[in-house]
Amino acid sequence: MPHSVPRRLRRSLLAVLTGVALTAGALATAAPAAAHPGSGGGPRDRAPLVVQTDGGAVQGSRPGDHRLFQGIPFAAAPVGDLRFRPPQPAPSWPGTLDATEPGSPCPQASSLTNPTSSTDEDCLYLNVTTPAGLDTHRRDLPVMVWIHGGSWRTGSGDRYDASKLALEGDVVVVTINYRLGPFGFLAQDDLSAAVGPEGSGSAGLLDQQAALRWVERNIEAFGGDERNVTIFGESAGASSVCAQLASPTARGLFDKAIAQSYSCTTEYATLDEAEAVGETVATTVGCTGDGPAVVECLQARPVADLLAAWPAGGGSFVVGGSSLPVQPADAIASGNWNRVPVVHGNLQDENTLFTPLSLPAAQLPTLLDPANYHAVLAQRFGARAGEVAALYPLAEYGSPLRVLAAIASDTGSALSTCEHVDAYEALDQRPRRDGVWAYQFRDQGADPLLDFSRPPFSFPAGLYEEGAQHAGELPYLFPGLFGNGLDAEQQALATTMVRYWTTFAATGNPNGRGVPAWHRYSDPSDVQGLDVASAGGIGPVDVAAEANCAFWDTFPAA
């Protein structure tokens, strides 16, 4: 049976549960990508380390059994009068570009989940990872283009060690930067008039498309097939994938898509809404009045001032310009979207990460005390608190805070399971050769992005276990991104996940030899659970039943 929970109801539920909108996409940037050890030599290492691109030659490195090219410019530095505007072509360079070090991250501020800070706007760079033993004449490897997460305000492509995907999946992986925060998503009335039909607030989206056009022109020289490109991303990166699926200007730039932990039916701000936020930002940094003088003022303001003025809730893609004229949900519902095969999924305990971050610190001791369980539910759910308690018993979760996190993970945000089920239903438009392949990552032992047992939280043990929380699957695809490494069972799960992801990139279907069968999505029982063997392993699960979606369907809007 098709299942649908209205998106507006979901948003109201989220407000009931936490009082603050949860921001998706806080992504670990704990350490730069570390190379896997490898032989580094021998007869298989025939692929050249100097490759000719349309901008000039680049020289990469061979840190192990893979080649790595870093810091390749795919667009001009968006500085001066290019700030906020659509990306422009990168200038060519004489001689050979040293591509052994990454380019600068785009401007961003450090935070609890992001140790990186940068004020360098010259940041539109990408990185290419290939198997080192690639035959010099081969030009047909599947290509995977990774779009990083980070709440649309942090992150960079070089943080992701793509060697496991490249080596085990026999693919070429490209990781990209794109403008973040106000530099990628600021919309403002005078700026919109200057930018033209794309509309202001579209720079980040168009940066991603510029990177894809670079791939289209150049990836053959690295051994990749420009006719077989998969975009994939997590959190804000998955949001990017969803936006590209709906963008008319992205048509033909990719052939498959993987969206991890963000629903493709979530709505974004309209141009009018985003311009109102942008007007506040402009006023905050002292750019008042109207007309070209405001644009010139905004383009001249120091990077740090704009970062400081950007709202805490941030901003993301803006709907209304020619690059994203309608909401992705509406594009999908109409069938007028970039119809390609899609892998789409989330984690079982997504909002365990965000629930403590979204609440006032003064409330947390009350929410950690099991004695307050019934009072907390009564305050939030009124006469229906007893029904909620029956579905989310304290004995199973340990603390009221963990119960609220479980409810938020099930329903109420772009990350939640019920919201994802809506997206699967929308994307499953038959009869087509393409389709949606849905998954849920469920390893309760996955290392968390944040350890809530440590400062500044220092939660008592047993009251807030992390579970399979937001971003927890990333080290299974990108080794060493954060955490303490994988044990043997987790390594086996990682191997299967990499095989699913790269087989899908090659064929448009994740099924292949040596992996459990994964059914194309037809109803919520077709979602492929991804777990370690001792906890149930890999196989279909009915996520809508587990997340109590039928109950939340009946819950009144606040």
Is the separation of the CB atoms in 471 and 447 below 8 Å? no
Residue 230's SS3 state is strand
* Active-site annotation holder among 66, 121, 470, 473: 470
* Active-site annotation holder among 279, 350, 425, 473: 350
For 276, other C-beta atoms within 10 Å of its C-beta total 14
* Active-site annotation holder among 235, 247, 263, 358: 235
Burial of residue 370 (CB within 10 Å: 0-12, 13-18, 19+) is middle
Q: List the end-to-end C-alpha distance of the chain, in Å, as a whole number.
A: 27
Partners of 318 in the β-ladder: 269
> Mind spelling out the 3-state secondary structure of 137-151?
CCCCEEEEEEECCCC
Q: Can you read off the two tokens belonging to residue 41?
A: 């030599």
The amino acid that residue 292 corresponds to is P
How many angstroms separate the CA atoms of 306 and 106, rounded?
Answer: 13
**Catalytic residue flag (residue 235):** yes
> Mind spelling out the 3-state secondary structure of 318-377?
EECCCCCCCCHHHHHHHCCCCCCCEEEEEECCHHHCHHHHHCCHHHHHHHHCHHHHHHHH
| Phi, psi for residue 125 in degrees, rounded to 5 | -125, 155
How many angstroms separate the CA atoms of 360 and 401, rounded?
Answer: 12
Helix (H) or strand (E) holding 528: strand 527-530
**Catalytic residue flag (residue 234):** no
How many angstroms separate the CA atoms of 215 and 226, rounded?
Answer: 7
How many angstroms separate the CA atoms of 465 and 353, rounded?
Answer: 10
Is the separation of the CB atoms in 415 and 346 below 8 Å? yes
**Catalytic residue flag (residue 168):** no
Report the sign of the C-alpha dihedral through residues 334, 553, 346, 412, in that order. positive
Q: What is the CA radius of gyration of the chain?
A: 23
Residue 97's SS3 state is strand
Question: Starting at the edge strand that comes first in sequence, how are the strands of the sheet with 539-541 ordered?
Answer: 66-73, 125-131, 172-176, 141-147, 224-234, 256-260, 342-347, 436-441, 527-530, 539-541
Residue with tokens 């940094």: 285
Is the separation of the CB atoms in 409 and 402 below 8 Å? no
For 436, other C-beta atoms within 10 Å of its C-beta total 23
For 150, other C-beta atoms within 10 Å of its C-beta total 29
Residues with a catalytic annotation lie at 235, 350, 470
